Amino acid sequence: MESNGTVNILSSAYLAVEYVDAALPQNPFQPPLKHAWGYMLDNYTKFQIATWGSLIVHELIYFSFCLPGFLFQFMPFMQKYKIQQDKPETWEKQWRCFKMLLFNHFCIQLPLICGTYYFTEYFNIPYDWDSMPRWPFLLAQCFGCAVVEDTWHYFLHRLLHHRRVYKYIHKVHHEFTAPFGMQAEYAHPAETIILGAGFFIGIMIFCNHVFFLWAWVSFRLLETIDVHSGYDIPMNPMHLIPFYAGTRFHDFHHMNFVGNYASTFTWWDTLLNTDNQYNKHLQKQGHKKEQ
């Protein structure tokens, strides 16, 4: 009975998303995207699309999302939104971060990206336009991946903070007590693999098209760069995501080193009371504002 109930719930959710999708007007970007996708399929092999396409998407999205935060440091009117105003970015820190990023991206992540083609072939992941999921399904799948990745990240991240392990791996990421966007993937190679595994678990569960791989990469990069940006921008659309942790939540983790271990959501820290120091910090700040 329980199994049938689960199937009925999933079927109802699927029908609800289909109904919403059918009721929405056609996306005006669909025709040019379809043309570009067809051109790509006609001129490149699946291996080239899966490997070099994924690398280009990752690099383009990563540094594009980092660019606004990089420019904020030159805009005096944006400094009121910087969380740790007493710790400005420096060229030395940013250059060191950039060099580490290039190493991680091309020596650690690129070999993993090269396995994308074999993953899609093994699981029969389609590349054709007609099989591409519509955007309501992409959003639902990205949210599902975020839930899986957030759970993995919380427990493994918390483990990396254990006093017997911290100094060997995770200490690298905490070189910057005031994070900035480009520092999101600044980490020890072992950490890149350990915490990055959570990214791939969601893909193995939800992936039904190669385009979804790129959608999930884009979403995850947007999220991690946002929480590392160091700027709490008002009207941030990311805060429309239910239970979204946000920049202040993760910025406190870098400043305090203890607590706030989750990557995207707040529920694991709330359930396991690892956000208690953060809550006391917020109460203290609120008390100072009242005075």
pLDDT of residue 155 exceeding 80, the answer is yes
Q: What's the pLDDT at 30?
A: 74
Over residues 100-108, mean pLDDT: 94
Residue ranges of E strands in 184-285 = none
**Mean pLDDT, residues 55-60 taken together:** 96
Does 12 have pLDDT greater than 80?
A: no
Give the C-alpha separation, 222 to 263, whole Å: 12
pLDDT averaged over every residue in the chain: 89
- 72 bridge partner residues: none
Q: How many CA atoms lie within 13 A of 167 on its CB side?
A: 2
Among 193, 212, 194, 195, smallest CA distance to 203 is for 212
**DSSP conformational letter for 239:** G
pLDDT computed for residue 32 by the predictor: 85
pLDDT mean over 143-158: 97
Token pair recorded at residue 110:
């690129």
**SS3 (DSSP) at 208:** coil
pLDDT in tens, 158-197: 999 999 999 999 999 999 899 999 999 999 999 999 999 9
* Predicted pLDDT at 217: 96
Q: What is the DSSP letter of 263?
A: S
Q: Is 80 exceeded by the pLDDT of residue 5? A: no
What phi, psi does 146 have (nearest 5°)? -65, -40
Question: Which pLDDT score is estimated for 6?
Answer: 43
Cα separations in angstroms, 53 against 80, 120, 127, 191, 206: 38, 14, 12, 24, 20
Dig out the tokens for 60 from the structure.
């383009």
Phi, psi of 265 (to 5 degrees): -110, 170
DSSP letter assigned to residue 233: -
The token duo for 237 is 């659309």
Report yes or no: 202 and 148 within 8 Å, Cβ to Cβ.
yes
- pLDDT, tens digit (0-9, with 9 covering 90-100), for 190-217: 999 999 999 999 999 999 999 999 999 9
Residues 268 and 89: their CA atoms lie apart, in Å, by: 31
Summarize pLDDT for 73-92 with one digit per residue, the tens. 999 999 999 999 999 889 99
Q: Which helix (H) or strand (E) segment is 149 a member of?
A: helix 135-160
- Residue 96 tokens read as 């060191």
pLDDT of residue 16: 52
Q: What are phi and psi of 48, to 5 degrees?
A: -65, -40
pLDDT bin (cut points 50, 70, 90) of residue 135 is confident
DSSP state for residue 105 in the 8-state scheme: I
Contact 265, 159 (CB under 8 A): no
At 284 the pLDDT is: 85
Q: Does 255 score more than 50 pLDDT? A: yes
Percentage with pLDDT > 90 across the chain: 80
Which pLDDT band, with edges at 50, 70 and 90, does 27 fall under? low
Q: Find out whether 49 and 119 touch, Cβ atoms under 8 Å.
A: no
Q: Is the pLDDT of residue 240 over 60?
A: yes
Quick one: average pLDDT of 225-251?
Answer: 93
